[in-house]
Amino acid sequence: MTEAAMSAAAGASSGAAGDALSNMPADEAEGHRKAQRFAKLLVDEIKLYNQAKVTEGRKKKDLYDRLKEDIEKSRSTFQKRYGNTVAASGNYFQNEVVRSLAEDDLSIMGANFRR
C-alpha cells in the first residue's frame, strides 16, 4: 500500500476510508474493513454498557477518565486481534473512540486521552 493510501485509510472518515480501500488488493482491503467493524463493535459495547458515564463525560469533557478501564481493555483486545496485521496502520480503534464516543470532538475525551 502506498504512503498516501495508508494516510487516507488511517485518518479518514468511513466514506473516505472506503475510497482508499478500493485502491488496495481485495484481501488487504477486507482486513481493513474487518478491523473497522471490530473497532466499531468494541466502542459500541462501551457506549451500551456505560451510557450514564458517556453522557456525563461528554458534558464534563472528561470522557477518557471516566471510561479509561473500558477503553484500555477494548484497545488491548483490538491490538491482540489486529496489531500485527496490515490494518494496524489504520488506527481504527482510536478513530472510532473519538468518532463515536466523543462525537468527533477530541476535546470531549479530556486532557489525559492519548492521541
Phi-psi group of 13: left, alpha or beta (phi > 0 → left; psi -120 to 50 → alpha; rest → beta): beta
Which residue range(s) make up the domain with 77?
Answer: 33-109
Is residue 68 situated within a structural domain? yes
Is residue 72 situated within a structural domain? yes
What distance lies between CA 80 and its chain's CA centroid? 14
Is residue 16 situated within a structural domain? no
**In the prediction, which pLDDT does 17 show?**
59
Is residue 114 situated within a structural domain? no
Q: What number is the average pLDDT over the span 29-43?
A: 97
Share of the chain above pLDDT 70, in %: 84
* Most confident stretch, 3-7, 17-21, 29-33, 85-89: 29-33
Is residue 13 situated within a structural domain? no
pTM: 0.81
Distance (Å, rounded) from C-alpha 53 to C-alpha 66?
A: 6
Dig out the grid coordinates for 115 from the structure: 492521541
- pLDDT mean across residues, the chain: 87
User: Buried (b) or exposed (e) across 31-65, using 16+ Cβ within 10 A?
Assistant: bbbebbebbbebbeebeeebeebbeebbeeebbbe
Is residue 63 situated within a structural domain? yes
pLDDT confidence tier of residue 86, bands split at 50, 70 and 90: confident
Q: How many domains does the chain have?
A: 1
